[in-house]
Structure 1
Amino acid sequence: MSSQVKIKYFNTRGRAELSRMLMSYGGQTFEDSRVEFADWGQHKDSTPIGSMPVITLENGNEYSQGTAIARYFASKYDLLGKSDEERLHADMVVDTIRSDMWPEFVKVVMASDAAQKEQLKKEAREKWNFWLGKLEAKFVRGTDTFLASGFSWADVALFNVVNDIFPLADMTSLDTSVTPKLNSIVEMVRKEPKIAAWVAKRPVTIM
């Protein structure tokens, strides 16, 4: 039986980082177990469904799927939203980020040809800006938060993708003239003390 929560993932920020941020926000002590890509074959068969991240709870039970794990901690720390509609709102934002925006990043990372990589970066930025514009126009309902009720996991998910993923496609910041409300959300999360402390101490990785 595990004595503390353990999150296991590659030695990157990637799909585990949202959960790491949420656990840090919630004051959760956790073991940050990291697997080198070269060693993945030794671990794959022992994971719940053959993928990472994997969360091991205090009772020893293990679960996979990065967004499901993040949603678990968002629920634990009351960050899903205060009503059914707010939970739908936050889930929509998170799904836009992790189901729509993330695959464009994966295409960039997987490209081996330099010219193709540059073209994919350009396409990713165009698509990201489209989705960001939609979120900016209709779905920022609070003061520096997506939800009218305040801080939620959707805010952290936006910070995660803007801070950790966008720079890998040469998009180092949001255009404040186009998405000022989203930029305010990002800066609010950046200054949140417990999340800022995690970002400051986490291992330095390329992604």
Structure 2
Amino acid sequence: MGNAQYKLYYFEFKFRAETIRFIFEAAGKPYEDIRFAQSKWPEYKNESPFGTAPYLEISNGSQTLKLGESIAIARYVARKFKLAGKSDEESAIVDMYADLITDLMNQMVRIFVEKDEDKKKQEQDKLQNELVPKCFQLFEDRIAQSKSGYFVPSGLTWVDLYLFNFIDIRGDKVDDLLNNNCKHVKKLYENVRTNPRIAAYLKRRPVTPF
């Protein structure tokens, strides 16, 4: 699909679609960013492969492919646009650390959907006091080892954008995440934030709560 056209469908917020948007932006590849209100979801749901969002529609002439599942989409476009690592080994490292970030994202979802306030607090405490410190130390060690300011020696990949998104959507907790024990994570965050294409996107993207 060399001359493919891409349409990304998601709700009017960042969360699971933002890493995919970042990949398109970092690669300088055009795509249609279709954001819809949650009330409009029934109109789109039947078009999604799994009835979930985000989903990506890829068109090339008479051929159309639809992909669901945010991480599958991210991996696909990252491979397409050379943001998945320069070797099989780098790609494996990228995937491995991306799975850790997915664990953090899934914990955020559990907190969001939990109705019981006591359980919600337990899940928040688990994220803040257990999962984040453990994962961020692993991120810190890996970025330090790569010596590039990113997860792998060859430079920017989609896992860097994924970690940036996780930090970015934490809003007022960003400073807590980027503490003095995370100087390499902080450097990666700044590297992504100041990437010219990402910086341009951050200036024009819609303001959303998360």
Tell me by how many angstroms 1:128 deviates: 1.2
Post-superposition shift, 1:63? 1.2
Q: AA paired with 1:192?
A: N
Q: Which residue of 1 is the match for residue 108 of structure 2?
A: 105
Gaps of 5+ in 2: none
| 1:111-190 equivalent positions in 2, closer than 5 A | 111-113=114-116, 116-126=119-129, 127-140=131-144, 141-164=146-169, 166-167=170-171, 171-173=173-175, 174-190=177-193
The amino acid that maps onto 1:171 is K
Say what the alpha-carbon RMSD is for the aligned residues.
Answer: 2.0
DSSP 3-state at the match of 1:146: coil
Return the match for 2:206 from 185, 191, 203.
Answer: 203
Q: 1:91 aligns with which of 88, 92, 95?
A: 95
Asked if residue 81 in structure 1 is aligned to residue 82 in structure 2, the reply is no
> Cα 1:178–1:35, aligned 2, differ >3 Å: closer, same or farther?
same
Of 133-142 and 43-52, more deviation after overlay is shown by 133-142
TM-score with structure 1 length normalisation?
Answer: 0.89
Deviation at 1:195, TM superposition (A): 0.8
Cα deviation, 1:117-142, whole Å, max 9, x if unaligned, reads 44432321121121111221245413
* Percent of aligned pairs sharing the same letter: 31
Cα separation, 1, equivalents of 2:157 and 2:142: 17
Deviates more, 1:189-198 or 1:136-145: 136-145
* Structure 1 position 193, deviation (Å): 0.9
Amino acid in structure 2 at the alignment position of 1:181: H
Is the 8 Å Cα contact of residues 148 and 154 (structure 2) preserved in structure 1?
A: no
Distance (Å, rounded) in 2 between the aligned partners of 1:150 and 1:139: 10
Q: For the Cα contact (< 8 Å) 1:6–1:32, is it kept in 2?
A: yes
- How far, CA to CA, are the matches of 1:12 and 1:38 in structure 2? 14
1:11 & 1:131 partners in 2: Cα distance?
28
SS in 2 for 1:144: coil
The question of whether the paired residues in 1 share the 8 Å contact of 2:90 and 2:152 is answered with: yes
Counterpart CA distance in 2 for 1:175 and 1:28 is 30
- Deviation digits for residues 28-75 of structure 1 (CA, Å, limit 9, x no counterpart): 221111122122223222211211111111323211111111112211
Compute the TM-score of the two structures, normalised by the length of structure 2: 0.88
Correspondences of 1:50-69 after superposition (within 5 Å): 50-59=51-60, 60-69=64-73
Q: CA deviation at 1:163?
A: 0.8
Summarize the Cα distance change of 1:19–1:175 in structure 2 as closer, same or farther, 3 Å threshold: closer
Contact conserved, 1:142 with 1:149, CA < 8 A, in 2?
Answer: no
Secondary structure at the aligned position of 1:58 is classed as strand
| Structure 1: runs of 5+ lacking an equivalent | none
Q: Distance in 1 between matches of 2:142 and 2:78?
A: 23
